[in-house]
Amino acid sequence: MALSEQERAVIDYERSWWQGPGPKEAQIRSRLRMSPSRYYRLLTTLIDSSDAYAYDPLVVLRLRQMRDRRRRARFEGRSVDGPRAR
């Protein structure tokens, strides 16, 4: 099943969101016309989508790696960038 226009817009936005002005949540609302919670739910689904991977493999791989680092850090009881919790 092909990606919808909205799903492609989310992937396109995730590719370069840091270049936009202001906080990410405000950009999501104004540019994509959706709430940040809806955006992150959709993004979570897209990360595991083979269609999303075919559309932009670099973005999807980067997001998968970030997710895996966060999961590993939670499992190990530490923050992603900080020292291990005691």
Q: Residue 56 in contact with residue 7, Cβ under 8 Å?
A: no
Per-residue model confidence (pLDDT) at position 83:
57
Measured distance CA(55)–CA(57) in Å, rounded: 6
The encoded tokens of residue 35 equal 């709430």
Per-residue model confidence (pLDDT) at position 18:
79
- Reported confidence tier of residue 75, pLDDT bands at 50, 70, 90: confident
Whether the predicted pLDDT of 81 surpasses 70: no
Note the pLDDT tens digit of each residue in 37-72: 999 999 999 999 999 999 999 999 999 999 988 888
